[in-house]
Amino acid sequence: MKTSMKFILFLMLASIAITTTYASAANKESLSNTAPKLSVQLWSVRNHIAEDFDATIDALARMGFDGVELAGDFGKFTDDPKGLTAFIKSKGLEVSGAHVDFNSLSDDKFVETINFYKAADVPMLIIGYDTRAGSSDTIEQTIADLNRIAPRVEAHGIRFGYHNHDFEFAPFGEATFWDHIAKSTPNSLVLQMDVGWVNHAGADPIEYVRRYAGRTLSTHYKIKFNNPIIGQDSFDWAGLYKVNTEVGGTQWIVLEQEEYPEGLTPLESVRLSKQGLAKALISVSMSN
């Protein structure tokens, strides 16, 4: 596996300055094609985003992220997709993708939705949640919608995918609902794995990346419940990063923070998880 100079620099800076100031976004090097970039899901800081979109994006940029994954709140750029991306790029960030729902891609809304995200230069649209995917009565509806919408989205040069929660890893047939989705959709459909929910369901994220090689183009890194700060846990983050890079075809690691330790703001929690991830991945950079 080839680890980029940029990611090595990220690990070194974070380990040295683990309790100090944000890493400078101005000194970023370009990544190689094999090393995933690091994004953050804006749902993690939704309250900050609602209060001050511009200042929140600036704060995330100062932490040293490479990109952001959009979550539906665009601040003053609600009707200005080009302005949205221009602002994000002005902070040294990219848009790694966006979470959407099936309703936004219904026949009467599809053109409006696609035009917005295409103008915003969003490379990947991910269905973030669909309860039908966890029931034997409705799973086929989810699959039918994914298969119907995927070629329409891909025709615009945008990747399309699905994001799991825990219920997709409940038993179904001889495997799980997630396996059924994967086997019933084309290989071009992105399987955006949420590591926190997979672990919470008692499944093995590393095994699932291997099982569906080349389809985990984007992966959510997070911990559910107990202590939700990445790095203050026992999960094998270095092992996951390795399989993401070597097998998953992963282009973006997306840090997501859904719970916040008492006394910490969402932004503070995100910063600690980013630092914890950097420490957990030090062994990756040392072995390459």
**b/e per residue, 2-28, with b = 16+ CB within 10 A?**
ebbebbbbbbebbeeeeeeebbebeeb
Q: Report the alpha-carbon distance of residue 244 to residue 189 in Å, rounded.
A: 16
* pLDDT for the residue numbered 23: 34
Token output for 19: 């309790």
Count Cα atoms within 13 angstroms, Cβ side, for 121. Answer: 13
* pLDDT for the residue numbered 226: 81
Of 284, 260, 282, 280, which is closest to residue 271 (Cα–Cα)?
A: 260
* CB 142, CB 181: distance < 8 Å: yes
Q: pLDDT per residue over 166-221, tens digit each?
A: 999 999 999 999 999 999 999 999 999 999 999 999 999 999 999 999 999 999 99
**Beta carbons within 8 Å of 252's beta carbon, 6+ residues apart:** 36, 37, 38, 39, 67, 69, 96, 97, 124, 217, 218, 219
pTM of the complete model: 0.88
> Residue 166 in 3-state DSSP?
coil
Q: Report the alpha-carbon distance of residue 58 to residue 13 in Å, rounded.
A: 19
| Polymer length of the chain | 288
What would you measure as the largest C-alpha separation in the chain, in angstroms?
Answer: 52
Token output for 89: 């790029």
- Residue indicated by tokens 């891609």: 105
Domain with 99 in it: 5-19+28-286
DSSP 4: -
Q: Report the alpha-carbon distance of residue 276 to residue 264 in Å, rounded.
A: 15
Burial status of residue 259 (CB atoms within 10 A of its CB: 0-12, 13-18, 19 or more): middle
Phi, psi of 185 (to 5 degrees): -125, 160
DSSP 77: G
* pLDDT for the residue numbered 225: 78
* pLDDT for the residue numbered 22: 33
Residue 97: how many other CB atoms lie within 10 Å: 29
* pLDDT for the residue numbered 87: 98
Q: How many domains does the chain have?
A: 1
* pLDDT for the residue numbered 92: 98
Dihedral sign for Cα atoms in the order 241, 201, 129, 137:
positive
Task: Indicate which CATH number applies to the domain containing 230.
Answer: 3.20.20.150
* pLDDT for the residue numbered 283: 66
Tens of each residue's pLDDT in the chain, 288 residues: 444 445 544 554 444 333 333 333 333 333 334 799 999 999 999 999 999 999 999 999 999 999 999 999 999 999 999 999 999 999 999 999 999 999 999 999 999 999 999 999 999 999 999 999 999 999 999 999 999 999 999 999 999 999 999 999 999 999 999 999 999 999 999 999 999 999 999 999 999 999 999 999 999 999 987 889 999 999 999 999 999 999 999 999 999 999 999 999 999 999 999 999 999 998 665 555
